[in-house]
Amino acid sequence: MSSVPVSSSPDLFVHVAVLADLLRLRPTRDETGGWLLGYWAADCTAVVLTHATPPGPRGAPDGVSISGHGHAACFEEAWDRSGGHVTFLGDWHTHPGGVPLPSSTDRAAMKQLSENAAFDTPTPLIAIATIPRYRWGRTLRYVAFFLRELSGAVVHLEPVLLDELPIEAAGIPRWWP
């Protein structure tokens, strides 16, 4: 069962390897994405992002569908190795050559995640990584994090970086090359 924040936006803690992996994605004209894994603090005042699954199949220049293909196995391994502590928080995807702001499609996906009981994420987290479309592109690389609150509002969360994985997630491997 997921924890649910009650009133104000939680603090976001992100392991440095997650941010580094998202910032070094290769340029591509097509969006790509994966899953975000971690856990909520018991008092719901913080969410801890410990892992991101590697990019799945590419989508199109204006969108990507992020299914369980390739990502579910990583989730299962994280769940098992953490004794059920590390779970699905939401997803990440790229905006090649664009800005790291949620589009209407992103907001609809967050709403779907929040309402689908199978995901057990009433307050899903997304990360949007801005990357260059082409290898010679000069797009500034940036990753922005957003949470859909119970009210339906989508809020930007500024991450606090963690140098070490919390003990709950230390036994989970990094799947990125």
> In terms of residue numbers, what domain contains 54?
11-169
Model confidence at 141: pLDDT above 80: yes
Confidence of residue 1 (pLDDT cuts 50, 70, 90): very low
The pLDDT tens digits of the residues spanning 32-73 come to: 999 999 999 999 999 999 999 999 877 766 767 676 677 889
| Segment 121-134, tens digit of pLDDT | 999 999 999 999 99
Confidence (pLDDT) at 62: 73
| Residue 14: predicted pLDDT | 98
Asked whether residue 25 is domain-assigned, the answer is yes
For the segment 82-107, what is each residue's pLDDT rounded down to a tens digit? 999 999 999 999 999 989 999 999 99
- Assigned domain for 93 exists: yes
Whether residue 116 is contained in a domain is answered as yes
What's the average model confidence in pLDDT over 109-128?
92
> Residue 91: its pLDDT value, please?
94
Q: Total domain count for the chain?
A: 1
Q: Does residue 134 sit within a domain? A: yes
CATH number at residue 70: 3.40.140.10
Q: Is residue 6 part of a domain?
A: no
Q: Determine, yes or no, domain membership for 27.
A: yes
**62 part of a folded domain:** yes
Whether the Cβ atoms of residue 127 and residue 36 lie closer than 8 Å to each other: yes
The pLDDT tens digits for 162-174 are: 999 999 899 999 9
The answer to whether position 39 is within a domain reads yes
